[in-house]
Amino acid sequence: MDAIFAETLWITCKFAVFTTLILIVVGLPLSYWLAYSKFRFKPLVEALVSMPMVLPPSVIGYYMLVAYSPRHWFGGWLLDTFNVRLAFTFEGILLASVIFSMPFMVQPLQNGLRALPDSLREASYTLGKSKMVTFLRVLVPNIKPSIITAIALTFAHSIGEFGIVLMVGGNMPGETKVASIAIYDEVQALNFAKANQYALILFSISLLLLTIIYSVNKKHDPWKAM
């Protein structure tokens, strides 16, 4: 295994792990809010979260690239205050991926929370427990299958991310070049053996993850047993 190959896989792995970790932290409170809030414009927020599922990656990628530009207020503000450039950097594709994979994390969590009987939350409140304690000790442990599904989907989806990474990250070896892009590169260079190596690894990881999701969902169905 040559150094570039290893580096590309390392970046892909780092990219998927960070995306997933950030999304767990952001996704749990967001899906809690989406599941229970009575906010009037909630449907709009829900629609925004789900946009990546219907839009081509190039559309979101284009807008993000524009926003990252130092001439845009967002890009300019990042550069002035933090001295951070996002265009064509690892941080840039990470942020893009967090936004683009959001629905894969939020939707299973939100559905899991909604499927819990209201009485569980209410029972915890009447037993004197705060919303935070209720969330952490009653709600989260009872949507474990949804959490596993959300993590696996997000991870698998970010490993396979192509369009938005290419759009926002370009193809910088050692910085933004992930396996899915490397495959494209190798094919362009008629390097089919290399492309196959990348492809096989991505295929195997995704297959493994999806198999885990389905076997977990088959085993856990706490509401049928209740």
Partner 1 sequence: MESNVITLEVEKMMLTANGKLNLSVDTRIQTGEFVALFGLSGAGKTTLLRILSGLMKPDKGLVKFGDTVWFDSSRGINIPPQERNISFMFQDYALFPNMTVEENIHFAQPMKDNATALELLSIFGLSEFRKRKPGGLSGGQKQRVALARALARKPQLLLLDEPLSALDSGMRLTLQNEIYKAHQLLGATTIMVSHDLGEVFRLASHVLCIKKGQISKEGTPDEVFSDSSISGKVQITGQVARIAKQDTVNIVTVIAGGSQIIKVIAFDSDMEALNIGDNVLVFTKAFNPMLVKLMA
Alpha-carbon distance values, 199 to 43, 91, 187, 207, 221 (Å)? 38, 24, 11, 12, 34
The two three-digit tokens of residue 192, written as one number: 């089919």
In whole angstroms, how close is the CB of 112 to partner 1 at the nearest point? 13
Residue (of 209, 203, 202, 201) closest to 148 by Cα position: 209
Of 87 and 147, which CB lies nearer to partner 1 in the complex structure?
Answer: 147
Residue 42 binds partner 1, judged by CB under 8 A: no
CA 21 to chain centre: 8
Q: Give the chain's end-to-end CA distance (angstroms, integer).
A: 51
Of 44 and 120, which CB lies nearer to partner 1 in the complex structure?
Answer: 120
Taking contact as CB under 8 A, which single stretch among the options 37-45, 114-122, 174-182, 186-194 is the one that binds partner 1?
Answer: 114-122
Of 124, 146, 180, 197, the one binding partner 1 by CB under 8 A: 124
Residue 127 binds partner 1, judged by CB under 8 A: yes
Residues 6+ apart with CB under 8 A from 200: none
Of 33, 36, 88, 125, the one binding partner 1 by CB under 8 A: 125
**Is the separation of the CB atoms in 169 and 92 below 8 Å?**
yes
Residue 119 binds partner 1, judged by CB under 8 A: yes
Write out the DSSP string of 72-95. Answer: SHHHHHHHHHH----TTSHHHHHH
Say how many residues make up the chain.
226
Q: How many residues at the interface with partner 1, by CB under 8 A?
A: 20
Taking contact as CB under 8 A, which single stretch among the options 21-29, 65-73, 100-108, 127-135 is the one that binds partner 1?
Answer: 127-135
In whole angstroms, how close is the CB of 225 to partner 1 at the nearest point? 4
In whole angstroms, how close is the CB of 130 to partner 1 at the nearest point? 6
Of 1, 3, 81, 126, the one binding partner 1 by CB under 8 A: 126
Residue 110 binds partner 1, judged by CB under 8 A: no
Of 138, 187, 201, 210, the one binding partner 1 by CB under 8 A: 138
Residues 6+ apart with CB under 8 A from 56: 163
